Structure 1
Amino acid sequence: MDPNGGEAWQPPKKGEKRQRPSNQPVEAAPAMKAGCELEERQPEVKKARLSSTLLYKNCEITHDQVCELLKYAVLGKSSIPKPSWCQLFHQNHLKKVVVFVLEGMSQPHFYRYYLEFEFLRKAFTHKFCLPPPSLDFLCDIIGLQKQQIAGDLSKPMEGSLSPTNPEGCSDLHRNPIIHKYGFNKVGLTRCLLTRQEMKIFNFPLQDSLDFEDFAPTQCDGSVTDSSPLFGLDCEMCLTAEGHELTRVSLVTEGGCCVMDELVKPANKIEDYLTRFSGITKEILKPVTTKLKDVQRKLQALLPPDAVLVGHSLDGDLKALKMIHPYVIDTSLLYVRERGRRFKLKFLAKAILGKEIQCPYRFGHDSTEDARTALELVQYFLRYGPRKIADTDLETLVIHQDLLAADPGLSSSAHHPPNTSVLECLDSVSQKLLFLTQETHDSELSSSSNCQTIKCLSNKEVLKLAREKVPFFPFSVIHFSFEPFSPEHTEEMSKRMKVKWAEMSAVYAGPFSQKCNRRDLKRLFKSFGPVQSMAFVLETYQPHLCVQYKVLEAAQLAIETLDGTLVEGTCIKVQRPVTELTLDSNTLVHELEQDSENRGTIYLAGVNKAFKEHLLQQSSHFSGLEALILPKDPQTGKQEKYCFLKFKTYSNAKKALSILTGTDWKLKGRPGLTPRHLQTWLRNSPQESSLLGLHGVAYPSEQQALQTLTLDHRKIAAWRWGRKIEKLYHSLCPGTLCLVLLPGTNSTNGSFSGLGLMGIKDEEESTISNMHL
């Protein structure tokens, strides 16, 4: 059901049964059915995309529903149910998730400064209401429960194997890990291979004659315990020259893959080693990247104090023909007796409780192997040698057949409904980046699976976001703004509703004294639902004042009738001129360009049989996503207007031309009011009627001048909209972005929040400066 009491119909998804809404038989014609199936039958489109179709059923989205989407974005449908309120197609092609939180702002703030937030309203196609925030808004949307907050870090990681040596320290002294590192936790620098160790294990070294033609990584900084870690793994093939590089993957500490390149070997390939690498002749055929290209990219990516992490990393560096002085090799970090080494697959299961290199997969995944090696180092640093020794790897490796991979028992196969986003990230070996101000104290910042960076100002949050976000697959960027006073927010909310009411009103005239008043009322009602209508007799000739329920109806009346002859008299149709309507033309123009309104059309004059008629003629309306048939909240009857949401701008333009033609006899124009805003306005008590528009108290001239001087928030809205735009443009394509204005609570009342979402580069083709 539509939030306004109306009915929202969407074309059925592939594989779903058509549901029959009350009193509304819905049977898609063959052309419509084919169009719906076509949407999901396009394997050549390898981009993640969102559909807002379900949003038309429910414009207010709960915090739990936002959490649903975020969890689905991390894990996909194999582990998490699909979101109940929107559709995310090709989730596996998402590159990143970035959530911007504008603390201290609500939906009224956004529309009070609508013109200043130009980028946000044009870039984000999908908008929705949020309920007023609870005590910790961030924990709500990340789905964090209090019992999930990290406390004792010595507690075993979920999914890891239990210690099998309870006998005490006496046996542990003989453990090779304890013998090398001792019982206490060690820092990153203690885990680095020394130059002597690198020489013993034949790592490429700067002054060695065997590696004279190797390229250095340009890393000559001073390494500390806080230096950044990068997981590295390569796949090779066999040529006449030996093993040559075919793929290289580089992963950051947050689990984000910043480099994954296929490489064309310089020599003829004799064996692709497909059973190990997954590389085939067909995969490498179109590749033009050479070893030199990869070397240059690595030199540019790695900071001066970067530490490379890998399993048997010497082979990877040799394949890359590169020299790097700071390395941690997990095959040597998890040291074994008599110089033997544990396999990466075994360590992943025994230490991390995760399956990698599963037999049903086609070769190894170098990104997964790089990430796993990185996690093993992070685990070692977090829990220390004692915990590793307690696990007794030597005993476990004897029974490794019992630990063989079982796809049906994957740790991420099933997640209970109350799983948090952090737990979902942890199950795929990823970490959340949380950037915030020092003043913000969220339980989110206490989580062990979240790298929290507290800053002194919003400016510093923005600066670090541009530096850190590329290295994390999931980021929360939290800006805190000076809170508005409850009185100011309440007054702003009230004035916004009055402004919309005034913009939805028109004065028309003059008419002759003998005009047919019934015909005039019928004429103006043909443009849309009327809240009130009355004749103004104070003027020399009668005028008509009409208060419409929706902004589109008023605008359509102005565009259609202003300057036309009605009963032999040229009339003027205009809005009431008040301080709140002086920028109406500008606002209407910008509302048409709002990304959510692109592809939406408003129609007046529809009847009860309109839906069936539309479906019968559906072949003329390609790309139809939703039909909104509002109902009168008092009577429950279907209104004589509707909204149609199309997939693209061109679909909507074509449909509007057909529907307003001679056959359909409808009146219409592009949509102006975003669905969530229309719902909020309709569900709110009317602040004024047309005959009492001036019931709101306007400020005096002195108050107005003071407001103009002190309204730094207007400037701040414009400035921060631009800053978020710059940060947005620095994100890679395929990034799911959410901008959340949490809303506000006070003793004076609660104010709804607002959410904006989209996938970068998702619908660029629909963004145009042209009008319908």
Structure 2
Amino acid sequence: MKASLSPSVTCGEKKRKNEAPAADEGIKRLKTEEGGDLQERPRHSARLSVCLDRLQQPITPAELMELLHFAALGKAAGIKQPSWCRVHHQRNVSGINVVVVEGVTQSLFYKHYLLMEHLRTSYTTRVTFTPSSNNVASEIFRCEVPNMDFSSVSKPEETLHTAVRHHPVITTFGTKRRGLTAYVLSQQQLIKNRYPVKDPSIMFMFQCLTEKGYELARVSLVDSDGNCVLDDLVKPQNRVLNYLTQFSGITAAMLRPVTTTLRDVQAKIRTLLPDNAVVVGHSLNNDLVALKLIHQHVIDTSLLYRREFGQKFKLKVLAEVVLKRQIQSEERSGHNPTEDAVAALELAQYFIKAGPRQVVELHLEELWGYKLKEESPKSTPAPSYRFADILQTTGRSPAYFGKRADVALDLSHQCWYSSDKEIVSSFRKQTKHPFLSVVQLSSFYNYLKRRSANQPQLYNNMCANLREMCAVFAGPFPAGFSKRDVKRMFSCCGPVRRVQMLSTSVRNHAKVEFRMLEGAVLALKVLNGLSVLGQTIKVQRPVNKSMLDLDLNLETLMSEKLNTNRLYVVKLRHDVAQGLNISAKLNRCLSDANSSVLPPGRPMNGLPQTAQINGKHSHSAKPELSEESVRETFSMFGSIRSISLPAKIAKRAFHAYIEFEDAEGKHAALASSGRLVEDSYLVWPSITPPHLLSWIGLMTESKPEQEEEETVEDFFDGGFQDQESSLLKKLDRRLSKVFRSLPDGTMSVVLLLEDTSSTSSDHPGLCFLEVKMENQSRR
């Protein structure tokens, strides 16, 4: 075993001044926990945002292409921000991954909402996606980029010599100059290069040979200006057998008076080295192992100046060729750790300042032994505007993983497999991720095709289940109470889509379908136990197998991130507001903003009988909401980010969603629910995610009005239902594996599609969007 060079650790962060925070040095302070997981999103990391109003409208394949083109090419190529979504810090998007899932519609996702844990928790943006008549995977590659400015896009393939184009430094880092943090090793690279990422129990290479093996004997630390801030001899814990003086320059006489221990040195380094500092060294993994230290932000010069097949240059060789400086000379007795540390620092600084391309071209013959031969000029073909071709022109590769299909991409960039399991396994095993990867998963769709005769009934069942989530049964009503009377009464909780009267030989009941989930929940809380012309009515949910998990579904929806600051508001007629004498119990229920669990409904027998709420005798003006009136009433509770009014649901708007800047505003409004009722407002925590507003509109309108209403029954037997659930759970796990394997900064897109050849709008798909960060890797 060869002895290592003296441990040399270089702090790549300048001494911080009070007026110049670390962020100005291009390094974001990262808080870490034991194990090294990042806990904060770096300040300038890429992210996506979609305004609430736009989330309520489905996006088309063309609009998705807008997003992909801008995320990949940005303003530098003349591409404009997407019309529906904003990409922040687009230059920090490190890649794009699109997973196309066939056969799983939006309605099927919400039918099995609780099972799809990865999809519902890992993505902060979710928007309805309309099916396309084209093959989505193929469309992504062949779609032309409009208004492309080729003059502003670098074309390394056209200007680089062949020997340089395939050089290991260029294939790893590209040709552009980048900042300090671009060369910091990722977690995967730390593990691959044997850096300590957990407390090390085995020590590999140390300075002096003792009875227990090699142990540290000297350590040096310099700052980013090359000034030595630490140079200590360290007393080994065990008896020294060989001081290795020819390498270390250390003798027995030098170590005899030393009392500094490894623990003392560790404490000094922790004091001198901030958590957010970038540590620079040559083969630094050996040094950190010897020091028994873990540090997450590392630049290794032996990996910057790469050789073929994983071989590394010696620090002495790099210093001589690049820095024109002699170190570790034979005249001296051993190496000088401070000199080695400064050399590593200057090599890293030179690489960052010059950029990979200049480093390779200036030192190609001296370091790598290549001589450039003149190449005959090639005719320049007309530029292609296809997305895949543009990416290849700019040096970024596209790739397709999926079943054998007609995909508009070079066969050398396609990987075909027969099962989803093989596709995901192959994708995760890649040594280098392409910039654009499209993964197509078809197992669930293939399973549905085998049951093609049952597919129409399956989709009808999903739509019926959604309608049941938005429905309540109510009654008994007095004789002569009409459908119009019922609709007028229940409209105080939200927009009513349909009322169906259900008559028995003795009494009248009604089924009320709301357009929003909140309407059904509020009806249970507000109208259950109401006295109507002397008749106490009961309001309850439909009871069938599909509704058994309803409360858990609603609870999970209400706790979604997009609903954290959102409030549902209904504007009541003044006479109805007076009739709704909200009890203390309901007031507490509405005020309990900290509870994520929906409280059970309780009868409200305290509501007085009034002619106004019965509906027949009410002649007051219909309520109407405007953005101005809502803002005027609710701005007292906190700063309002946006107000979303319904789109053409009724002639007049009488319900809205309010998004506050923070959750405190929402909580304050809920706490004042009793006073708001006096002002003719009924409030409830938002349950419906923004994109679901459009989905509910489509699903609840999918059944013709003239059809007779029937009790919802599960069409398939229990065996099918169990198999369906099992397949979707397996799909969710595979999507999670793909997501975890993505490099940090990758924009992840998951598309749920009924069928890429379908043109139906009755069964919309769903698009999930997120830019992956390191703290999402181990969820």
Contact 1:501 1:688 in 2 (8 A): no
The alignment status of 1:611 with 2:627, answered yes or no, reads yes
Query: Residue 56 of structure 1: SS of its match in structure 2?
Result: helix
Contact 2:566 2:666 in 1 (8 A): yes
Counterpart of 2:352? 366
Q: Is the 8 A contact 1:265 1:290 kept in 2?
A: no
Q: How does 1:183-332 map to 2 (within 5 A)?
A: 230-231=172-173, 249=183, 266-267=221-222, 287=277, 289-291=279-281, 294-296=284-286
Aligned to 2:44: 46
Q: CA deviation at 1:608?
A: 3.7
**Equivalents in 1 of 2:431, 2:525: separation in Å?**
47
1:112–1:492 Cα contact (<8 Å) kept: no
| Counterparts in 2 of 1:58 and 1:582: CA distance versus 1, 3 Å | closer
Give runs of aligned pairs for residues 386-535 of structure 1, distance below 5 A. Answer: 389-391=375-377, 420=387, 423-424=390-391, 426-427=393-394, 429-432=395-398, 434-446=399-411, 451-468=413-430, 471-481=433-443, 482-483=445-446, 484-485=448-449, 487-510=453-476, 522-533=488-499
Contact 2:571 2:625 in 1 (8 A): no
In 1, the alpha carbon distance for the partners of 2:223 and 2:752 equals: 57
Match of 1:755 in 2: 767
The answer as to whether partners of 1:96 and 1:473 remain within 8 angstroms in 2 is yes
Correspondence for 1:628 among 640, 644, 649: 644
C-alpha separation in 2, matches of 1:743 and 1:478: 13
Aligned residue type for 2:407: S
Aligned mates of 2:713, 2:182 — CA distance in 1: 67
SS at match of 1:462: helix
Percent identity, aligned pairs only?
Answer: 24
Q: Aligned partners of 2:630, 2:53: CA distance in 1, in Å?
A: 21
User: How far apart, CA to CA, are the structure 2 residues paired with 1:442 and 1:233?
Assistant: 30
In structure 2, the residue matched to 1:413 is: none
Deviations 1:240-274 (A, max 9, x none): xxxxxx9993899xx9xx99x9xx984477679xx
**Residues 500-536 of structure 1 deviation map (CA, whole Å, 9 limit, x = unaligned):** 2223221223456699999865442200112333654
- Residue 665 of structure 1 is matched in structure 2 by 680
Q: Distance in 2 between matches of 1:541 and 1:602?
A: 34
- 1:722-733 counterparts in 2 under 5 A? 722-731=733-742
Deviation at 1:737, TM superposition (A): 1.6
Kept after mapping to 2: 8 A contact 1:133/1:753: no
Letter in 2 for 1:390: S
SS at match of 1:603: strand
The equivalent of 1:136 in structure 2 is: 135
CA distance in 2, matches of 1:739, 1:123: 11
Look up the equivalent residue of 2:277 and give its one-letter code: V
**Structure 2 counterpart of 1:712:** 723
Shift of 1:717: 0.6
Contact 1:113 1:714 in 2 (8 A): yes
Number of residue pairs aligned between Structure 1 and Structure 2: 553
1:225 aligns with: none
Tell whether the 8 Å contact from 1:535 to 1:545 is kept in structure 2 after alignment.
yes
TM-score by length of 1: 0.58
Q: CA deviation at 1:746?
A: 5.8
In structure 1, give the amino acid aligned to 2:651: K
Looking at structure 2, the residues matched to 192 and 47 of structure 1 have their Cα atoms a distance apart, in angstroms, of 27
Q: Is the 8 A contact 1:144 1:422 kept in 2?
A: no
Q: Secondary structure at the match of 2:547?
A: coil
1:341-380 matches, within 5 Å, as 366=352, 369-370=355-356
> In structure 2, what is the equivalent of residue 641 of structure 1?
655
Q: Shift of the alpha carbon at 1:744?
A: 0.9
Other structure's SS at 1:744 match: coil
Distance 1:249-1:312 versus aligned 2 partners, 3 A rule: same
The two structures, once aligned, show a CA RMSD in angstroms of 5.5
Q: Cα distance 1:749–1:737, how it changes in 2: closer, same or farther (>3 A)?
A: closer
Verify the 8 A CA contact 2:625 2:653 in the aligned structure 1. no
Using a 3 Å threshold, how does the CA distance of structure 1 residues 431 and 655 change in structure 2: closer, same or farther?
A: farther
Task: Give, in whole Å, the separation in 1 of the partners of 2:655 and 2:523.
Answer: 14
**How far apart are 1:574 and its partner, in Å?**
0.7
Q: Distance in 2 between matches of 1:612 and 1:537?
A: 43
User: Alpha-carbon deviations, 1:692-736, whole Å to 9, x = none?
Assistant: 32187864xxx625534xx53321111121232244345455442
Counterpart Cα distance in 2 of 1:507 and 1:54: 32
Counterpart AA for 1:545: K
What runs of 5+ residues in structure 2 fail to find an aligned partner?
Answer: 1-40, 147-153, 196-218, 228-272, 297-301, 323-348, 364-369, 573-622
Q: Output the amino acid matched with 1:440.
A: A
Is the 1:108–1:492 Cα contact (8 Å) retained in structure 2?
no
Please tell me the residue identity of whatever aligns with 1:125.
T
Give 1:87 shift: 1.6
**Which of 551, 576, 589 is equivalent to 2:517?**
551
Distance 1:187 1:365 in 2: 18
Matches of 1:229 and 1:192, distance apart in 2 = 5
Residue 161 of structure 1 deviates from its aligned partner by 5.7
**Gap change, CA 1:565 and 1:139, over 3 Å in 2:** same
Query: Aligned letter for 1:678?
Result: L
CA contact (8 A) 1:71 1:420 kept: yes
With over 3 angstroms needed to count, the CA separation of the structure-2 counterparts of 1:95 and 1:530, relative to structure 1, is same
CA contact (8 A) 1:233 1:248 kept: no
Summarize the Cα distance change of 1:471–1:706 in structure 2 as closer, same or farther, 3 Å threshold. closer
Q: 2:749 maps to which residue? A: 738
Deviations 1:82-139 (A, max 9, x none): 1110122232344443322213433333234333212212322222222323333123
Q: Secondary structure at the match of 1:557?
A: helix
Report the Cα distance in structure 1 between the residues aligned to 2:176 and 2:514, rounded to whole angstroms. 66
Counterpart of 1:60?
58
Judge conservation of contact 2:748–2:771 (CA < 8 Å) in 1. Answer: yes
Q: Secondary structure at the match of 2:375?
A: helix
- Equivalence map 1:155-194=2 (5 Å): none
SS in 2 for 1:692: coil
Per the TM alignment, residue 541 of structure 1 is displaced from its structure 2 partner at its CA by 4.8
* Bigger mean CA offset, 512-521 vs 584-593: 512-521
Q: Closer, same or farther in 2 for the Cα pair 1:615/1:669, shift >3 Å? A: closer
2: CA distance between counterparts of 1:740 and 1:694?
33
Is the Cα contact below 8 Å between 1:61 and 1:130 reproduced in 2? Answer: yes
Matched residue SS, 2:430 = helix
Q: What is residue 152 of structure 1 aligned with on the other side?
A: none
**Secondary structure in 1 matching 2:717:** helix
- Secondary structure at the aligned position of 1:439 is classed as coil
Q: Which residue does 1:22 correspond to in 2?
A: none
Amino acid at match of 1:612: E
Are the aligned partners of 1:733 and 1:760 in contact in 2 as well (CA < 8 Å)? yes
Q: Distance in 2 between matches of 1:466 and 1:493?
A: 33
